[in-house]
């Protein structure tokens, strides 16, 4: 094993939704209740959703309203698009509850942040634009399922991205280890990202998703799997609050994620593009600079 010390800056991800396989529809599908009912039946088959007749009739009205909302928004001149995903016969209230982690949502979105240093304060020579996905520093889309574990995905994505930038290797790390083993947070009931970073530092790193796969539920900590960390860190910093210039400097150096309340109807069906819609409570950016030890095997 080769061990190498590297420097990183990270922002945190707290998205309370996942991107899922969607079903396309056309204007013809919207022309009548009959065609909308046929679309609903195709949607149920597409997502293997079983309903009895009474429930189907009730859910169809919700589905119809959601389809019309998606169509309406997509006809607007907005830089993002919506699609008919697996949440299409859920009310927005049900959708918000699906990913509920209310215990810590207030602290995550409105609570006080620790004031720390910001290593990129003096960075001024910034690129006009950057897409870290194209640079291979972002793992594929992950599905948190019916578990309020956005805080774990947030912590993991920052470490994955900077590890790729500094080591040249994109390694998918274990959210489930944090859900099961990080006791300052509350697993599927919610948590805070800085607690996750402190855990990774204290326990000598985080293992891979392959070693400790995600199950979308609370479980007992498997200490044996914790004995094979893939990435270690020494600490973190927060990007200064309410400072878009600081956020711009951070994203110029690595992938940037933010904590938002993703409970709006548009985010329920978000598919692609730059989201400019309602984030309900406007989020404060989370971020951190870390010293990281990368114990991946050298080539």
**Residue 159 falls inside a structural domain:** yes
- Give the integer Cα–Cα distance in Å for 149 and 180: 11
Q: Are residue 117 and residue 33 in the same domain, yes or no? A: no
**Residue 143 falls inside a structural domain:** yes
- Give the integer Cα–Cα distance in Å for 179 and 185: 8
Q: Are residue 146 and residue 208 in the same domain, yes or no? A: yes
Residue range 168-202, pLDDT digits in tens: 999 999 999 999 999 999 999 888 888 898 999 89
pLDDT at 280: 56
Residue in 155, 291, 163, 157 with CA at minimum distance from that of residue 235: 291
Q: Please give the residue that has the higher pLDDT: either 280 or 85.
A: 85
Q: Are residue 12 and residue 60 in the same domain, yes or no? A: no
**Residue 270 falls inside a structural domain:** no
Q: Are residue 247 and residue 134 in the same domain, yes or no? A: yes
Q: Please give the residue that has the higher pLDDT: either 254 or 215.
A: 215
Is 163 in a helix, a strand, or coil? helix
pLDDT at 122: 87
Is 135 in a helix, a strand, or coil? coil
Q: How many CB atoms lie within 10 A of CB 1?
A: 6
What's the domain range around 165? 4-17+100-262+277-294
**Residue 90 falls inside a structural domain:** no
What is the mean pLDDT of the segment spanning 120-135? 90
- Give the integer Cα–Cα distance in Å for 215 and 33: 39
CATH of the domain at 148: 3.90.70.10
Q: Are residue 74 and residue 114 in the same domain, yes or no? A: no
Range with lowest mean pLDDT among 99-103, 231-235, 286-290: 286-290
Q: Are residue 78 and residue 119 in the same domain, yes or no? A: no
Confidence of residue 295 (pLDDT cuts 50, 70, 90): very low
Q: Are residue 249 and residue 124 in the same domain, yes or no? A: yes
**Residue 267 falls inside a structural domain:** no
pLDDT at 100: 60
Q: How many CB atoms lie within 10 A of CB 96?
A: 21
pLDDT at 145: 86
pLDDT at 14: 36
Residue in 43, 36, 56, 150 with CA at minimum distance from that of residue 96: 150
Q: Are residue 176 and residue 284 in the same domain, yes or no? A: yes
- Residue 296, pLDDT > 80, answer no
Q: Are residue 65 and residue 115 in the same domain, yes or no? A: no
**Residue 76 falls inside a structural domain:** yes
Q: Are residue 56 and residue 148 in the same domain, yes or no? A: no
Residue range 55-107, pLDDT digits in tens: 999 999 999 999 999 999 999 999 999 999 999 999 999 988 776 655 455 55
Q: Which of 37, 57, 84 finishes a domain? A: 84
Q: Are residue 74 and residue 184 in the same domain, yes or no? A: no
- Residue 115, pLDDT > 50, answer yes
- Residue 113, pLDDT > 70, answer no
Confidence of residue 203 (pLDDT cuts 50, 70, 90): very high
**Residue 57 falls inside a structural domain:** yes
Q: Are residue 59 and residue 147 in the same domain, yes or no? A: no
What is the mean pLDDT of the segment spanning 213-222? 96
3-state secondary structure 237-291: CCCCCCCHHHHHHHHCCCCCCCECCCCCHHHHCEEEECCCCCCCCCCCCCEEEEE
Total domain count for the chain? 2
Confidence of residue 279 (pLDDT cuts 50, 70, 90): low
Residue 101 sits at the vertex; the CA angle it makes with 196 and 73, to the nearest 5 degrees, is 110
Mean pLDDT of the chain: 81
**Residue 299 falls inside a structural domain:** no
pLDDT at 291: 34
């Amino acid at each position: 094993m080769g061990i190498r010390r590297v420097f990183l800056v990270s922002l945190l991800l707290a998205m309370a939704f996942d991107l899922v396989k969607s079903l396309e529809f056309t204007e013809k599908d919207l022309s009548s209740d009959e065609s909308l009912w046929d679309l609903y039946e195709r949607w149920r088959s597409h997502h293997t959703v079983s309903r009895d007749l009474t429930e189907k009739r009730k859910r169809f009205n919700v589905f119809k309203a959601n389809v019309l909302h998606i169509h309406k928004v997509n006809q607007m001149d907005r830089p993002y698009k919506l699609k008919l995903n697996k949440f299409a016969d859920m009310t927005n209230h049900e959708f918000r509850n699906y990913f509920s982690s209310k215990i810590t949502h207030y602290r995550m979105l409105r609570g006080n942040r620790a004031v720390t240093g910001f290593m990129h304060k003096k960075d001024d020579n910034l690129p006009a634009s950057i897409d870290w996905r194209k640079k291979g520093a972002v793992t594929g889309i992950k599905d948190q399922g019916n578990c309020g574990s956005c805080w774990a995905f947030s912590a993991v994505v920052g470490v994955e991205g900077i590890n790729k930038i500094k080591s040249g290797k994109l390694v998918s790390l274990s959210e489930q280890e944090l859900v099961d083993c990080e006791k300052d947070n509350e697993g599927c009931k919610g948590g805070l990202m800085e607690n996750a970073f402190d855990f990774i530092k204290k326990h000598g790193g985080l293992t891979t998703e392959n070693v400790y796969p995600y199950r979308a539920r609370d479980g007992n900590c498997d200490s044996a799997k914790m004995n094979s960390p893939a990435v270690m860190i020494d600490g973190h910093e927060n990007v200064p609050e309410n400072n878009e210039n600081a956020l711009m400097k951070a994203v110029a150096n690595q992938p940037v994620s933010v904590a938002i309340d993703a409970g709006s109807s548009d985010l329920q069906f978000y598919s692609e593009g730059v989201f400019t819609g309602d984030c309900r409570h406007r989020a404060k950016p989370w971020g951190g600079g870390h010293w990281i030890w990368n114990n991946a095997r050298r080539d």
